[in-house]
C-alpha cells in the first residue's frame, strides 16, 4: 500500500482488499477540517465513484479525535459575514452530498469525539462504527452560529428528530452508547482493535456481490426521498444485478456448496 498524501488528508487504495481509505490527518488541530480538506474529500469521492476496483470505502482519522469540526482558523476569512458563511456552508454541503452519492458502501470509523461539521461528514456515510470514547457534539449554539438547515436535515435522518433537537438545543455531547441505541451508530468497537474490526466489516461487505450492494444502496437512497427518477434508477440497478454473471455465479456456488467469487459484472 502506498498512500498518496495531500495536506491533512491521507488517501490510500488497497486493490487486493477492494478498499479505498480516506484518513483525516490534522492532529495538531484535532483533525479539524479546513476548506482545503473539504475540497480534497470531494475530489476523493469523485475518484472512488469512478473506480470499479473499489467495493468499499472507509473514512476515518488520525487516532484520538475523529474531528473537531470545521477548522476555526478558516472562520475569519471563509466564514465572516452572512455571504461568506453561506458559501462555506455550500462547500460543506456539496462535499457531504458527494460522499452520500458514492455508489459503494461508505463506512465511517469514529475513534474519539466528533464535533460540528465532522459530525455532518460522519452522518453522510452509510454505517458508523465508534469506540466508547466517541461523542457527538454540535456546538453551534455556543458560538452563535446559524447551523445550515441542510446539515440539520442530515442529522434528523441519522439521529432522529428528538435526538437532533437535543443535539442542537443543548450543544451537549451525545455518547456513542446513546447513538448506538438510536441507530446512528451501527457498532461499538474496542479502541484497541477499532481499525481491525472496521476493516473486517469492510472485507465482509467486499466479499459480497458488488452489483447487488450498489442496487441496494441506490434503493435506500431513493426510498429516503420522493424522486421518481431515483426510484426508476434503483429499479434498473436491481434489474442489472438480476441479469449479471455474478448472479449466475452466486447460484452455482450455492448449488456446489462453495464460496462465490464475485467480479462485479
pLDDT surpassing 90 at residue 77: no
Average pLDDT, integer, range 177-200: 96
Which of 73-77, 105-109, 242-246 has the lowest average pLDDT?
A: 73-77
pLDDT for 225 equals: 79
The C-alpha cell 426521498 sits at 225
Give tens-digit pLDDT for 29-45. Answer: 999 999 999 999 999 99
Residue 81: pLDDT band with limits 50, 70, 90: low
* Pure H helices in 51-160: 75-78, 81-101, 116-123, 140-143, 149-159
What digits encode the pLDDT tens for the residues 131-170? 999 999 999 999 888 899 999 999 999 999 999 999 999 9
Does residue 3 register a pLDDT over 60?
no
- pLDDT of 5: 47
Percent of the chain with pLDDT over 90: 76
Give residue 143's pLDDT.
87
57 burial type by CB count under 10 A (0-12 exposed, 13-18 middle, 19+ buried):
buried
* Beta strands 19-24; 9-14: pairing state: antiparallel
215 versus 78: which is more confidently predicted?
215
User: pLDDT averaged over the chain?
Assistant: 91
Each residue's pLDDT tens digit, 193-247: 999 999 999 999 999 999 999 999 999 989 987 778 888 988 999 999 999 999 9
Q: What's the pLDDT at 71? A: 84
The pLDDT of residue 75 is 55
Residue 1 pLDDT level (bands cut at 50, 70, 90): very low
pLDDT for position 129: 98
Signed CA dihedral, 179, 183, 185, 189: sign only: positive
pLDDT for 82 beyond 70: no
Residue 70 pLDDT: 86
Q: The cell 456448496 sits on which residue?
A: 257
Mean pLDDT of 179-195: 95
- Cβ 249 vs Cβ 260: under 8 Å: yes
Residue 23 CA, distance from chain mean position: 12
Amino acid at each position: 500500500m502506498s498512500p498518496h498524501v495531500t495536506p491533512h488528508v491521507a488517501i490510500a487504495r488497497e486493490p487486493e482488499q477492494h478498499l479505498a481509505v480516506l484518513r483525516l490527518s490534522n492532529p495538531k488541530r484535532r483533525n479539524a477540517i479546513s476548506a482545503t480538506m473539504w475540497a480534497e474529500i470531494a475530489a476523493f469521492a469523485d475518484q472512488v465513484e469512478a473506480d470499479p476496483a473499489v467495493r468499499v470505502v472507509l473514512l476515518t482519522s488520525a487516532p484520538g479525535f475523529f474531528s473537531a469540526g470545521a477548522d476555526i482558523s478558516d472562520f475569519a476569512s471563509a466564514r465572516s459575514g452572512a455571504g461568506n458563511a453561506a458559501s462555506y456552508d455550500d462547500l460543506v454541503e456539496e462535499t457531504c452530498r458527494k460522499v452520500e452519492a458514492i455508489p459503494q458502501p461508505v463506512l465511517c470509523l469514529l475513534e474519539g469525539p466528533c464535533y460540528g461539521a465532522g459530525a455532518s461528514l460522519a452522518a453522510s456515510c452509510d454505517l458508523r462504527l465508534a469506540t466508547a470514547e466517541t461523542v457527538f457534539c454540535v456546538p453551534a449554539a455556543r458560538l452563535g452560529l446559524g447551523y445550515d438547515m441542510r446539515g440539520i436535515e442530515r442529522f434528523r435522518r441519522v439521529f432522529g428528530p428528538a435526538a437532533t433537537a437535543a443535539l442542537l438545543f443543548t450543544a451537549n455531547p451525545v455518547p456513542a452508547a446513546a447513538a448506538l441505541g438510536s441507530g446512528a451508530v451501527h457498532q461499538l468497537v474496542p479502541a484497541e482493535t477499532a481499525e481491525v474490526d472496521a476493516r473486517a466489516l469492510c472485507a465482509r461487505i467486499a466479499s459480497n456481490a458488488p452489483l447487488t450492494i450498489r442496487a441496494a444502496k441506490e434503493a435506500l437512497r431513493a426510498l429516503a426521498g420522493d424522486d421518481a427518477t431515483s426510484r426508476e434508477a434503483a429499479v434498473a440497478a436491481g434489474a442489472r444485478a438480476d441479469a449479471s454473471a455474478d448472479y449466475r455465479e452466486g447460484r452455482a456456488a450455492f448449488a456446489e456448496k462453495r464460496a462465490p467469487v464475485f467480479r462485479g459484472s
